[in-house]
Amino acid sequence: KEIILTPTEFRILRTLMENEGIVLGRDRLLQKVWDVDGEFIDDNTLSVHIRKLREKVEEDPSRPKLIETLRGLGYRWNGEK
């Protein structure tokens, strides 16, 4: 199934997928997205992008299985569960 992503959503998703199973802190994700082309997004904007990504890739975005939040630690991509 084809999924249309914004460039920022794509960079966040790619970063998560390249680090499958590894918890990436919010700072690390912000740094990776910011380092790509100088675009800066703040903490709240990252949350919005994660929510939008879940709406696009999760079967049930309210119960995410692919993009997992580990409270106080960050996010983890869990592959095709």
CA dihedral 61, 66, 67, 68 (to 10 degrees): 100
The amino acid occupying position 12 is: I
Spatial distance between the Cα atoms of 72 and 32, rounded to a whole number of angstroms = 19
Structural domain span for residue 40: 7-77
Residue 1, domain member (yes or no) = no
Tally the domains of the chain: 1
- pLDDT tens digits along 43-67: 688 899 999 999 999 999 999 999 9
Spatial distance between the Cα atoms of 79 and 66, rounded to a whole number of angstroms = 6
Residue 22, domain member (yes or no) = yes
3 φ, ψ (degrees, to nearest 5)? -125, 125
CA dihedral 19, 70, 49, 41 (to 10 degrees): -80
Global pTM value: 0.85
- pLDDT tens digits along 5-29: 998 899 999 999 999 999 999 888 8
Q: What is the CATH number of the domain that holds 50?
A: 1.10.10.10
Residue 2, domain member (yes or no) = no
